[in-house]
Amino acid sequence: MSDATAESAPSYRYTAELAGQIEQRWQEHWDSTGTYHAPNPVGPLAGAVPEDKLFVQDMFPYPSGAGLHVGHPLGFIGTDVFARYHRMNGRNVLHTMGFDAFGLPAEQYAVQTGQHPRKTTEDNIQTYLRQIRRLGLGHDERRRIATMDPDYYRWTQWIFLRIFHSWYDEKAGKARPITELEAEFAQGKRATPDGRGWCELTHAEQQAVLNDYRLVYLSDAPVNWVPGLGTVVSNEEVTADGRSERGNFPVFRRNLRQWMMRITAYADRLIDDLDRLEWPDKVKAMQRNWIGRSHGARVSFPVADSAIEVFTTRPDTLFGATYMVLAPEHPLVDTIAAAEWPDDVDPRWTTGAETPGTAIAAYRRAASMKSDLDRQENKEKTGVFTGAYATNPVNGASIPVFVADYVLMGYGTGAIMAVPGQDQRDWDFATAFGLPIIRTVAPPEGFDGEAFTGDGAAVNSGFLDGLGVDEAKKTMIAWLEENGHGNGTIQYKLRDWLFSRQRYWGEPFPIVYDEDGTPVALPESMLPVELPDVDDYSPKTYDPEAADTEPSPPLSRATDWVEVELDLGQGRKTYRRDTNTMPNWAGSCWYQMRYVDPTDDQRFCEPENERYWLGPQSPGDTGGVDLYIGGVEHAVLHLLYARFWQKVLFDLGDVTAEEPYRRLYNQGMIQAYAYTDERGVYVEASEVVERDGKYFHGDRRVRQEYGKMGKSLRNVVTPDEMCAAYGADTFRMYEMSMGPMDVSRPWATKDVVGAQRFLQRLWRNLVDEETGETRVTDTDPDETTLRALHKAIAGVHEDYANLRYNTAGAKLIELNNHVTKNFPGGAPRVVAEAMVQMLAPLCPHIAEELWSKLGGPKSLAHGPFPKADERYLVEDSVEYPIQVNGKVRGRITVPAAASQDEVKAAALAEEKVAALVGDSTPKKVIVVPGRLVNIVL
């Protein structure tokens, strides 16, 4: 048998080939028997549902052309193990995966090749499906969805209309149907903006009023226009240096008529409800930071006939406001600017210009030409005096008003009161311009910094003197409100969500415009509004720097589609369709609900099914997906938008869950080494060898880098290669044992063999490699083995439940090593069965195969899973290490039931310890039950 070639491994050794056969066979079996179908309470997928359910979800992938590398499935396998563990323990588990199918790459490919994005995307989806099927993921494939399917985006459009037909009632603190607002106007319960009666307004005027309340509304406010992409993008899609996240093009602020989602109405709830979620602190912090709630006051500073409104978080420092600053774009700049400089003007304030007017114009021009990057990198304070003076309301002081670009139009009121004593930016400006600095909070003794931002007693502040910062703020706000100079207020960084894109490959808006240009919502019966075919998929793109260009979306050129004749209740009329598409985030804002009811054509999700899978599980619970795994890169965008939609639908009574994702878990990134040669060109990482700590590609010395896996770095390893070389179970086992799920770590192909060897050993303990027959025995395992077994069972339960797959795997290896060592003739049946059951969540195929070899009745997918017997978890006797002054000096073994005094006596009697203690009396003897004894001399 052993004298032939390399093929001469025993016929039933668990090799990659055998693993592959087993895996394919079981995948087909699962498929054909619908093993992972999870029944719904009602509807097409209805079945008998256990009360105990679990909804596990992966952040669904955008199917890119490159397919998956080994980093992608980490989370997919993680959710699968979790799902399998709970399914085996009797829960009704919903786990599936769909595709975030709209997106720019397919559209760009279409622009280049003319291939319809749908075709590209469908092909890519097939690749993804092939790859994930090979991994043996237990998905309910009946629930697969793709956001580009009209059956799916019909409901995305439907939800858009629900939001469109709603407004936020601040008093009630929730969204309500817009018809109720309209009724309030019509009944005169609510005044129109200009005081006319509702009936006196034209239809278009009425609609314009309602537009200002709708949760999704048309706005002419400044948006981020990216000529290089030919589209606008949201604030969240603009990087810190003012460029587009996609394509890295310059972004320009332009006033364009666009759809906005009134996410700001939910700012408080989006922040406050974070406390109710089981999410990583890091993600919560990022969301809080993004929403940026700050408490403070609005204060009005009179200047000539008008007044400058400022927002400040430090009203307690008002007495130290020695000047004011307006953003260059602030509308009041022109109003208040003086015609001439005052006689004694500081030359630093004028930039040498003849008049304030010319100085301001020059400064504005210079500011507008500075890119955001320049403004950021160059923090030198610049500015120019307006020639005007404002009055500080607390003390009547006359303070100069400047224009400076360190104040941003986009935050607060675009104007500030400057308190150099308590704000470093103001300090810097004041120093550069020779402005007075008044401290209003006493810094601690020995403070040698500039602006002091800490807590302390108020000074130079009239009626605030002596108060701490918090108390002083309250007192000042009360004073401002009493005297009509301002009021306490809350400011947010969060802006409304720009919701239109000038692209082809996205959801069309279910909106048409009438002859007045008033938007009209299409009735539900006309959904979906399907994407028309076009000749040219590209929006008109421009020179990236051409700020003054206009968006021209591809749909606007589908003239037959744009112009429609419809009867929308006023007889047949011609309307124009909205030619924008929704942003890529729309489809992922609600997909968990469609997973629940993927084939329902009456509702986006049947209420009973929603309540069962996503509803609150206890009073105060937010509801939502039980476990949501994905990368931390979606911390703000997707997760904030999805929470917002969820809350609107909750307010409208469409869903019972207040939050989409009750528990969130971020998987770590699998990174990899990459190598560059002397020219800096990447070489194939798999061909690099290490010699004496140096790296070589052939004979050439190469340099090692560490980072993401990517085609351009030539360091991609695919799950396909790994499955071919080792089998899917080995690959799964390896990925899960590399470390905790949330830790990023380097990929190491050479380590995969460890997982392979484990499975081979386990297989060999149960199966004769020569004959394929089982070799389990019916002998009763000894006490030690039973203890090892039940300890493993208890530990593995806990590890699986807490996503600690690396330690669960280690415990299985440990147990298997015990079997190898103690049962060379084959594993005792009870141990073998439990081991296979415990292995199943991690390595489902080999577990199924072994289970059936052991005579298990059917698939292991729904259990059983072993339970630990308490009897074997408690020890009869315990070994105590004896420390003398904290160092281990000896050991004793005593019955587990021994009292502390008995343990103490035994410890002191121990030979080596007794020698050390000698005649002296120990100061203290500490007995930690079950752990150790420490004798302090």
> Of 270-299, which residues contact RNA (CB under 7 A)?
281-282, 285-286, 289-290, 292, 294, 296
Q: Does 743 bind RNA (CB under 7 A)?
A: yes
Complex with RNA: residue 586 or 925, whichever CB lies closer: 925
Residue 760 CB, shortest distance to RNA, in Å, is 5
Half-sphere exposure (Cβ direction) of 207: Cα atoms closer than 13 Å: 13
Q: Which H or E run includes 466?
A: none
Residue 809 CB, shortest distance to RNA, in Å, is 6
At a CB cut-off of 8 Å and minimum separation 6, what does 309 contact?
298, 299, 300, 301, 413, 415
Q: Which stretch binds RNA (CB under 7 A): 1-9, 34-42, 570-578, 841-849?
A: 1-9
Select from 335, 368, 376, 395 the one that contacts RNA (CB under 7 A). 376
Here's the x/- map for RNA, 380-409, by CB under 7 A: it reads as: -x-----------------------xxxxx
Q: Does 932 bind RNA (CB under 7 A)?
A: yes
Q: Which stretch binds RNA (CB under 7 A): 97-105, 110-118, 139-147, 377-385?
A: 377-385
Contacts of RNA in 633-672 (CB under 7 A): 636
Complex with RNA: residue 17 or 782, whichever CB lies closer: 17
Q: Which of 389, 268, 271 minimizes the C-alpha distance to 323?
A: 389
Cβ–Cβ < 8 Å for 540, 546: no
Complex with RNA: residue 80 or 735, whichever CB lies closer: 735
- Strands 497-498 and 258-261 come out as antiparallel
Select from 276, 761, 791, 904 the one that contacts RNA (CB under 7 A). 761
Q: Which of 772, 735, 773 minimizes the C-alpha distance to 756?
A: 735
Which amino acid is it at 184? E
Here's the x/- map for RNA, 433-472, by CB under 7 A: it reads as: ----------------------------------------
Residue 291 CB, shortest distance to RNA, in Å, is 10
Here's the x/- map for RNA, 308-337, by CB under 7 A: it reads as: ---xxxx------------x----------
Q: Does 936 bind RNA (CB under 7 A)?
A: yes
Q: What torsion do the CA atoms of 212, 216, 222, 227 make, to the nearest 10 degrees?
A: -150
At a CB cut-off of 8 Å and minimum separation 6, what does 62 contact?
99, 100, 101, 103, 105
Q: CA geometry: angle at 382 spanning 377 and 384, to 5°?
A: 155
d(CA 551, CA 545): 14
- DSSP structure class, residue 698: T
Complex with RNA: residue 520 or 906, whichever CB lies closer: 906
Contacts of RNA in 895-924 (CB under 7 A): 924
Residue 83 CB, shortest distance to RNA, in Å, is 21
Complex with RNA: residue 368 or 570, whichever CB lies closer: 368
Q: Which stretch binds RNA (CB under 7 A): 7-15, 103-111, 473-481, 905-913?
A: 7-15
- DSSP structure class, residue 509: P
Select from 9, 129, 534, 713 the one that contacts RNA (CB under 7 A). 9
Q: From the CB of residue 162, how many other CB atoms can be counted at a distance below 10 Å?
A: 20
Q: Which stretch binds RNA (CB under 7 A): 189-197, 416-424, 585-593, 595-603?
A: 416-424
Q: Does 735 bind RNA (CB under 7 A)?
A: no
Residue 893 CB, shortest distance to RNA, in Å, is 10
Complex with RNA: residue 574 or 771, whichever CB lies closer: 771
Taking 3-state DSSP, the helix, strand and coil percentages for the chain, each rounded to the nearest 5, stand at 40, 20, 40
Select from 237, 329, 423, 610 the one that contacts RNA (CB under 7 A). 423
Complex with RNA: residue 193 or 930, whichever CB lies closer: 930
Q: Which H or E run includes 924?
A: strand 924-928
891 bridge partner residues:
881
Contacts of RNA in 864-883 (CB under 7 A): 879, 881, 883
d(CA 281, CA 773): 52
Residue 335 CB, shortest distance to RNA, in Å, is 19
Residue 318 CB, shortest distance to RNA, in Å, is 11
CA distance to 69, 103, 252, 254, 546, per residue, from 550 (Å): 39, 22, 12, 10, 10
Q: Which stretch binds RNA (CB under 7 A): 463-471, 588-596, 758-766, 895-903?
A: 758-766
Cβ–Cβ < 8 Å for 251, 238: yes
887 backbone dihedrals φ, ψ, rounded to 5° = -110, 140
Complex with RNA: residue 127 or 313, whichever CB lies closer: 313
d(CA 928, CA 926): 6
Contacts of RNA in 795-834 (CB under 7 A): 804, 806-807, 809-811, 813-814, 817, 820-821
Select from 131, 500, 737, 859 the one that contacts RNA (CB under 7 A). 737
Contacts of RNA in 589-628 (CB under 7 A): none
d(CA 294, CA 492): 6
Task: Check the annotation: does 711 bind a ligand.
Answer: yes
Complex with RNA: residue 591 or 805, whichever CB lies closer: 805
Residue whose pair of structure tokens reads 């939800």 in the numeric block: 159
Q: What torsion do the CA atoms of 612, 614, 615, 616 make, to the nearest 10 degrees?
A: 120
Contacts of RNA in 467-506 (CB under 7 A): 491, 493
At a CB cut-off of 8 Å and minimum separation 6, what does 750 contact?
none
Residues contacting RNA: total by CB under 7 A:
94
Q: Does 63 bind RNA (CB under 7 A)?
A: no
CA distance to 302, 419, 477, 478, 486, per residue, from 483 (Å): 14, 21, 10, 9, 8
Select from 156, 760, 785, 837 the one that contacts RNA (CB under 7 A). 760
SS3 (DSSP) at 5: coil
Q: Which stretch binds RNA (CB under 7 A): 334-342, 673-681, 746-754, 773-781?
A: 746-754
Complex with RNA: residue 513 or 696, whichever CB lies closer: 696
Q: Which stretch binds RNA (CB under 7 A): 3-11, 264-272, 436-444, 674-682?
A: 3-11
d(CA 739, CA 671): 13
Annotated binding site for ATP: 711
